[in-house]
Amino acid sequence: MTFSDTKFPPLTKLTEDEQMLKEAAADFADSVIQPKVQEMEEAAKLDPDLIQQFFEMGLMGIEIPEKYQGGGGTFMMSIVAIEQISRVDASVGVFMDVQNTLVNNAFLRWANDDVKERFLPQLATEKVGAYCLSEAGSGSDAFALKCSAEEDGDSYMLNGTKLWITNANEADLFLVFATIDPGAGYKGITAFIVERAMEGFSISKKENKLGIRASSTCELLLEDVRVPKENILGEVGKGYKVAIETLNEGRIGIGAQMIGIAQASLDAALNYTQERKQFGQSISDFQGVQFQLAKMATELEMARLLVYNAARLKENGQPFLKEAAMAKYYSSEVAENLSSSAIDLYGGYGYVKEYPVEKYYRDSKIGKIYEGTSNMQLNTIAKILLR
């Protein structure tokens, strides 16, 4: 297949709807989120009023069809919005990313009509979702999980612990992966929709993190949580398919978060180097600084092309597994590289919290870790190349 055979436009050319949402998200980020960033960072908590505004803006249900009170948009629209929000605060970016690319996508693809009718309007208008796969012994080995689900009449009783759950403090709906038969390996895994008010379910330890500090990352405890069978997402024993295929899409969302951080780093470096005077001139007049800026801009553009390409492939129904892995791997490298370079260009000021670039550096590090480590992305890419 050649590029001319594909149905999507040039990667950096957005449709009218995509451009409109990008501009709306950028304006919202600059005018509403930016003034709250420092306070949320210090409090390590999202502003509750901001969460409500996300729903009012339609940013929590971009792809949910209009008949379920969502925006009826596309995957690419989610990606450009996540990028713009993350440009201002990656903590808030991952908040809406998990909702759109993981939780909503899982419901849209795997839920039956009854589950969609019950939960999609809630996710579009008022309720935050969380994606609960990881455990103490199941990180990269995602299906070594111990959380159990035992059939009990018209329900399942869930017991176990989940770790590293993004949006845990804010969420009301939790997509929990548990095994109905430990001896069956990955074929025993099932996806359950757990509601916060269910007896026996609780939020435990909140992690004190290096970066994305306003994003809640918590431990979940499930102690004889009774989940009705109608709250199963997909088929019993097919939760591994829900997990794998949803994470493939989620990695593109993390790529968007990372290019948002990288863009913020480049913007900060461009502004500062033109303002900072040394030896009687702006440091941007020095060729050595110009070369650093040029390299940063080139790396960012390459990362953005990878992310947009993966998004276009996904929304056009074409294979995108390798491209999603490449996008996540490379964009996380670029976010860390550009934020580090920005600190170098700021000099001593880059190392203090009065200026924004040290936060970009701390926020970027998670990109190599969550939703599949960089090593796992390289493993995926290599396996596909060697088939």
Distance CA 137, CA 279 (A): 56
- Positions annotated as catalytic residues are 371
Distance CA 134, CA 207 (A): 14
- What are the beta bridge partners of residue 152? 155
Residue type, position 2, single letter: T
Rg (CA), the chain: 21
Distance CA 90, CA 86 (A): 4
Neighbour-count burial of 242, counting CB atoms closer than 10 A to its CB (0-12 exposed, 13-18 middle, 19+ buried): buried
- Tell me if 25 sits within 8 A of 80, measured CB to CB: yes
Distance CA 234, CA 263 (A): 38
Distance, first Cα to last Cα, the chain: 18
Residue type, position 24, single letter: A
Return the structure tokens found at 117: 């009718």
Neighbour-count burial of 345, counting CB atoms closer than 10 A to its CB (0-12 exposed, 13-18 middle, 19+ buried): buried
If phi over 0 gives left and psi between -120 and 50 gives alpha, with beta otherwise, what is residue 192? beta
SS3 for 371? coil
Torsion of CA 200, 203, 205, 211, to 10 degrees: 160
SS3 for 223? strand
Return the structure tokens found at 119: 């939960």
- Tell me if 143 sits within 8 A of 189, measured CB to CB: yes
Return the structure tokens found at 156: 């399942």
Residues 6+ apart with CB under 8 A from 292: 269, 341, 344, 345
Return the structure tokens found at 347: 């000099």
